Homo-oligomer: A and B are copies of this chain.
Amino acid sequence: MATTNSALEPLAIGIDIGGTGTKFGIVDRNGNVLFSSEISTKKHKEVETFIDELYESFLPLIEKVGGIGRIKGVGVGAPNGNFYTGTIEYAPNLPWKGIVPLAKLIEDKFQLPVTLTNDANAAAIGEMMYGAAKGMKDFIMITLGTGVGSGIVANGQLIYGHDGFAGELGHTIVIPDGRLHEGTGKYGSLESYASATGVRLTALEVLEKRSEPSLLREVPTDKIDSKAVFDAAIQGDKVALEIFEYTGKILGLALANAVMFSSPEAIILFGGLTKAGDLILKPTREHMEANLIQVFQNKVKILVSHLKESDAAILGASALAWDK
């Protein structure tokens, strides 16, 4: 549309709700995040006050792009977000329990059409439109953050399942009778090992079990996280390396199982843990291959998302709004 002033082209709102914080922004059709910001999720015991703060925070951004008239719609990614019903249902990592009619609440407040899905599904759509999965018809997106999320694309379509909740690889059981997941009450799920929380727990366990010296012993217990483990590992700390090896072993096993399920062209990893690079990717690849039967070996790419972390979730969520 050469005759239209590009400043007046429609825009979309993308909102990514995580267990700790919520990122949001205004995005154009080419995947440029024009303005973005973040608020705390977990401080809001009630979803209503969360929506109020979200709306207040959006007002100046909407003002900057020329008013609400330019916004075509809102896309939201949230844990246990249901594409079909627009509700968040029993999300273990969010402060709001039961069934929350999130799309309806945002629609009423913003007076805009709202599309909701699982946060990792939104990330998968973002990768397919703007990122590492461009042009792929079969891939799996795995987000390694506070939790572990996933979005599965097969035959070029996102798999929502019959009820809208497909793609919860983080909750699949990888070690029967393994580590307790506080949020779900289940034992041995992928998320209880391969998330930021999981790496911290592994570090604490290994430090207690081993007696050898480690740089991590100089870190106060409450400061032990995947960043601290990374810092120690790049200095060659054996205990830190063992923590990544163990995490990669479990993640690799889970990826092998996912590959034997939907046989993707690639697995796209995203999130804090991927910053450890080959420290985590090398054992993950090795253990994935070791658990695959021959027909799947040496052909599935493990890629790290190259979208800016702060943008990717917003981009993915906003992509939902264009489709509506």
Contact = CB atoms under 8 A, between A and B. Distances in A.
A169 B260 contact: yes
A256 interface: yes
B261 A165 contact: no
Copies of the protein in its oligomer:
2
B184 A294 contact: yes
A253 interface: yes
Interface stretch (A32-40, A171-179, A229-237): A171-179
Nearest to A191: B293
B171 A293 contact: yes
Contacts of A184: 293-294
A154 B166 contact: yes
A186 interface: yes
A162 interface: yes
Instruction: Give the dominant DSSP class at A's interface.
Output: loop
A172 B253 CA distance: 9
Nearest to A183: B293
Interface string A159-203: 111111111110111111000000010100000000000000000
Interface string A125-137: 0000000000011
A245 interface: no
B161 A138 contact: yes
Interface residues of A, number: 46
A295 B89 contact: yes
A253 B294 CA distance: 24
Contact of A162 (B175, B253, B264): B264
Interface in A145-166: 152, 154-155, 157, 159-166
Given A155-B155, A173-B257, A263 B165 contact: yes
A106 to B, nearest CB: 20
Ranked 5 nearest A-B pairs via Cβ: A161-B263, A166-B263, A162-B265, A138-B162, A172-B257
Interface of A: 80, 89-90, 92, 136-138, 152, 154-155, 157, 159-169, 171-176, 184, 186, 253, 256-258, 260-265, 291, 293-296, 299
30 contacts: A90-B293, A90-B295, A92-B294, A138-B161, A152-B261, A154-B154, A154-B157, A154-B159, A155-B155, A155-B160, A157-B157, A159-B262, A159-B263, A160-B263, A162-B265, A163-B299, A165-B295, A165-B296, A168-B260, A168-B261, A168-B295, A168-B296, A169-B261, A171-B260, A172-B260, A172-B261, A174-B176, A184-B294, A186-B291, A257-B257
